[in-house]
Amino acid sequence: MTAVLEVRDLSVRFATPDGEVSAVNGVSFDVNEGECVGIVGESGSGKSQLFMSVMGLLARNGRTLGSARYRGTELVGMPVKDLNRIRGDKIAMIFQDSMTGLTPHLRIGRQMTEVLVQHKGMSESQAVKRALDMLNLVRIPEASRRLAQYPHELSGGMRQRIMIAMALLCEPELLIADEPTTALDVTVQAQILDLMSDLKRVTKAAIVLITHDLGTVAGLCDKVQVMYGGRFMETGTVRDIFYEPAHPYAAGLLSSMPRLTEVRSEKLYAIPGQPPNLQRLPKACPFQERCDFVHDRCVSELPLLREVGPGHAKACHLVSLQNPVTDPAAPSLAVA
Amino acid sequence: MSKELLRVQDLKVHFPIRTGGLLIGQYTPLKAVDGVSFTLNEGETLGIVGESGCGKSTLGRAILQLIKPTDGQVLFMGSELTGVGAEVVRQKREEMQIVFQDPLASLNPRMTVGDIIAEPLTVYRPKLSKAERKELVRDMMAKVGLLPQMINRYPHEFSGGQCQRIGIARAMILKPKMVVCDEPVSALDVSIQAQIVNLLMDLQQEMGLSLLFISHDLSVVRHVSHRVMVLYLGRVMEIATRDAIYAAPLHPYTQALISAVPVPDPDVEKNKERIVLGGDLPSPMKPPSGCVFRTRCPKATDICASDVPVLEEKVPGHKVACHHWGVPDKKLV
């Protein structure tokens, strides 16, 4: 498989009045052709900032270290002019909030055709035709009427579908969806998930799905990467993560979710403590303060990702969750 | 079953919305809640589910008389809350409290945590001395999992989950009989949700509370509720025990809702045939004739457009408002 996106040792730092904040700390991964990768994490885990930095969309006080290559071309530090040739054309992004993702004072048609005229050099009429095709693909009723409407005239589900249609206009090779269904009602979310799994089959685009919802990941993704405190805690196939989680955080997240299917014991498992404060992240394992199996080594050495099975890796000192003693062979970085 | 605590009878909340007219405005009623009836027993949790705009929050507020109902009755511990003076309602509020969705927005940023939690005491127990009040607040803080030494801090110094604990402490300090929980965990991270759900259930057991648990999250509702009520466009579609609703929902809307929830299990998720409803929620200003759900219902026929289905007990303990009710013809999850 060929990689569409190769990220190596990528870090994101923000300069704030209270000192530097590390949102992402040295992550490396590939997104291959036709693959759907889920990035799972809670708020503040760095999951969104990771891809904002790949797209060159960080806030002004942010900077990216490391490397992110799209088909061999380095994106980090690329001039905006060159970046704009790739963004929207080869790599497209869908944002969570469809009201702020669309420009409120421009008609849908204008917003959709702009990208085609810019990137593909289409004429206005060609672009309108292509926009209509896309609206039909995402199953928007009365597509031609929508082109003349403004974003506020449409419902949330409809706007999210338009965002998806816009992202697909130039047939991107990589589609980054940042919490695409979080703001939607559950029946509308079902429509969008249904649509996305169809698109996965029809288009050959690689998809990155950034979310906190393990349910949406289970249905759509092939691979999953679990983030915490700006690092990958566990990476693997969707089956690895859901059926054989190896990291205490991934396992804890899964068992803290109430289920529709099984009758559970009266009490939910709850991960103790609070989400991490990025300004005061522990130097070693970021999850140490909330982990049920914390050892001395977790406080003094940062665990690095290591394979626990083919394509399945975890960043944890433990031998396994069944045998929660530290593994002397586990690779780590000593921190003072 | 134990004693009835709350009885809601044909409750309606209509908001007049100006739709035209130059000098003399024309108003159309927005029927946020339209004829809702149910009961809540002592120590029981009733889950209220529905999508945004179905009137679940308005219903919760109307029961507490935070919004004045247009019509219908609310009986709390046998006494009427609707159409009585503000002072009568104020006295009853001692027994009924609310926990809001947005933990930070529902706390006054200029008050210390101690003052926020103590406020109900200053209103309803004015005779308490300052020291006694502080003692009660510290006890309550410990009970909801906050460190009592944080009593002089301000809300912005706490995380979302901790702020929700403050909101819960404030609601519980008077030892109420009933608490309306309006999406209490929706704004929280997954790992914090479980903490707050466990806390609410522990407090309920300990204090013998009744909860109205309003949420759009069907998995959480299943975990906390004894009975569940499903709302759509201000009307009750179905109400039954938790197990009946989730194992054998009789209303097509409930079936679609349950089927729509993504399950964190790849095998289940990849093999299930989701019931996908077309379209969006209709405008509550122009609700469809007959059954309000018919525009999105896969089973709708002519009768649904002409006759409003009545909420009736079709199976013992299981009420449905549908002309074509029945058990789902395929597995939902």
pLDDT in tens, A214-243: 999 999 999 999 999 999 999 999 999 999
SS3 state at B10: strand
* Cβ A236 vs Cβ A311: under 8 Å: yes
pLDDT of residue A185: 84
Q: What six digits make up the tokens of B200?
A: 């609410």
pLDDT of residue B241: 95
A245 has a pLDDT exceeding 90: yes
ipTM of the complex as predicted:
0.86
Domain ranges of chain A: 1-90+170-280, 104-168
φ, ψ for residue A55, nearest 5 deg? -85, 0
Average pLDDT over residues B122-137: 94
**Contact B237/A at CB under 8 A:** no
- Window 91-130 of B, Cβ < 8 Å to A: none
A98 has a pLDDT exceeding 80: no
* Cβ A242 vs Cβ A254: under 8 Å: yes
Positive or negative: CA dihedral B70, B306, A156, A47: positive
Residue with the bigger pLDDT between A13 and A119: it is: A13
**Contact A244/B at CB under 8 A:** no
**Cα separation values, A330 from A59, A149, A233, A286, A317, Å:** 36, 58, 14, 16, 6
Residue with the bigger pLDDT between A243 and A277: it is: A243
Q: Do the chains contact at B262 and A193, CB–CB below 8 Å?
A: yes
B332 → chain A, closest CA residue: A261
Residue A129 belongs to what H/E stretch? helix A124-137
- End-to-end distance of chain A based on CA atoms, in angstroms? 40
CA dihedral B163, B168, B170, B173 (to 10 degrees): -150
SS3 state at A13: strand
B46 has a pLDDT exceeding 90: yes
CA A120 to chain B, closest CA, distance in angstroms equals 32
Q: Do the chains contact at B197 and A268, CB–CB below 8 Å?
A: yes
Q: Do the chains contact at A261 and B333, CB–CB below 8 Å?
A: yes
pLDDT of residue A265: 60
- How does residue A262 score in pLDDT terms, banded at 50, 70 and 90? low
- How does residue B60 score in pLDDT terms, banded at 50, 70 and 90? very high
Q: Do the chains contact at A214 and B216, CB–CB below 8 Å?
A: no
* Cβ B84 vs Cβ B23: under 8 Å: no
pLDDT of residue A300: 92
Rg (CA), chain A: 21
**Cα separation values, A246 from A326, B44, B88, B241, Å:** 13, 38, 58, 37
CA atoms within 13 A on the CB side of B214: 22
Percent residues over pLDDT 90 in chain A: 60
Which amino acid belongs to residue A42?
E
Q: For A218, which of B159, B269, B296 is closest by C-beta distance?
A: B269
Q: CA B246, CA B230: separation in Å to the nearest integer?
A: 11
B283 → chain A, closest CA residue: A155
Residue with the bigger pLDDT between A310 and B1: it is: A310
pLDDT of residue B253: 96
φ, ψ for residue A245, nearest 5 deg? -60, 140
Q: CA A302, CA A331: separation in Å to the nearest integer?
A: 9
Q: CA B105, CA A186: separation in Å to the nearest integer?
A: 25
- How does residue A187 score in pLDDT terms, banded at 50, 70 and 90? confident
Which amino acid belongs to residue A59?
A
Mean pLDDT of chain B: 92
B327 has a pLDDT exceeding 70: yes
Q: What is the DSSP letter of A155?
A: -
**Contact A224/B at CB under 8 A:** no
A96 has a pLDDT exceeding 90: no
CA A113 to chain B, closest CA, distance in angstroms equals 25
Q: What is the DSSP letter of A122?
A: -
For domain A1-90+170-280, say whether CATH 3.40.50.300 is its number. yes
**Cα separation values, A195 from A138, A160, A201, A233, B269, Å:** 7, 11, 10, 30, 15
Q: CA A254, CA B194: separation in Å to the nearest integer?
A: 11
Residues of B with Cβ-Cβ distance to A161 under 8 angstroms = none
Residues of A with Cβ-Cβ distance to B264 under 8 angstroms = 214-215, 217-218, 242, 254, 257, 259
Sort residue B208 into left (φ over 0), alpha (ψ -120 to 50) or beta.
Answer: left
pLDDT of residue B1: 52
Q: Do the chains contact at B192 and A261, CB–CB below 8 Å?
A: no
pLDDT tens sequence across B261-318: 999 999 988 888 888 888 778 888 889 999 999 999 999 999 999 999 999 999 999 9
Q: For B261, which of A188, A215, A254 is closest by C-beta distance?
A: A215
CA atoms within 13 A on the CB side of A238: 22
**Contact B281/A at CB under 8 A:** yes
Burial class (CB in 10 A: 0-12, 13-18, 19+), B332: buried
A76 has a pLDDT exceeding 70: yes
SS3 state at A23: strand
CA dihedral A303, A307, A313, A315 (to 10 degrees): -10
B316's CB contacts (< 8 A; 6+ apart) are none
A261 has a pLDDT exceeding 80: no
**Cα separation values, B14 from B57, B65, B123, B285, B306, Å:** 14, 14, 31, 10, 22
- Tally C-beta pairs within 8 A across A and B: 133
Nearest one of B53, B69, B47, B28 to B292, comparing CA atoms: B53
Residue B181 belongs to what H/E stretch? strand B178-182
